[in-house]
Amino acid sequence: MSEAPCQTEETVGLFAGQHVLAELSGVSADLLDDEQFLRHALGEVLTQADATVLEVISKKFDPQGVTVLALLSESHASIHTYPEVGSVFVDVFTCGTRAKPALAVQLLADALGAAHVSTDLVTRGLKEHAA
């Protein structure tokens, strides 16, 4: 039987989650234009943060920039790079309580060597269960 969206082993059917929106800056332009590195890095940090990665897709743009999307059992994650300014937008939403989206963002910032990290956390759904 397949799981419905936003289900985890601990919280089947829980309509609650955390959405981390981040901006990373001070990152090497070369890293931000390396599609394969970014795909691998996003998949790895999500796994380390206890998310279940189902699929990763990406698109490299001309003359520069990469978008990477990860489909998760717990929801999704995305990165959109701007090598010309050494910055990247990151979006990680996970429902339930097992996955740790803030940890995924911090691990990605570390992997990219970001000099500056700005994050916003949005609690979604049933607020009392999303911690």
Decide if 8 is inside a domain.
no
The reported pLDDT for the residue numbered 13 is 55
Which residue among 25, 75, 76, 116 is the active-site one?
75
Token pair, residue 24, equals 């990373």
The reported pLDDT for the residue numbered 2 is 46
pTM of the model: 0.89
Decide if 131 is inside a domain.
no
Decide if 72 is inside a domain.
yes
Tokens 């829980």 belong to which residue? Answer: 14
Q: Which of 77, 83, 93 is nearest to 28 (CA)?
A: 83
- The total of structural domains in the chain comes to 1
The reported pLDDT for the residue numbered 11 is 52
Give the CATH number, domain containing residue 36. Answer: 3.60.90.10
Residue-wise DSSP of 84-109: GGTEEEEEEEEESSS--HHHHHHHHH
> In which domain, by residue range, is 29 found?
16-114
Which residue among 76, 95, 118, 129 is the active-site one?
95
Token pair, residue 67, equals 């978008």
Which residue among 40, 76, 80, 129 is the active-site one?
80
Decide if 104 is inside a domain.
yes
**Residue-level pLDDT, tens digit, the chain, 131 residues:** 344 566 545 554 578 999 999 999 999 999 999 999 999 999 999 999 999 999 999 999 999 999 999 999 999 999 999 999 999 999 999 998 899 999 999 999 999 999 999 999 999 998 665 55
Any catalytic annotation for residue 95?
yes
Cβ pair 9, 96 in contact under 8 A: no
SS (H, E, C) 51-62: CCEEEEEEEECC
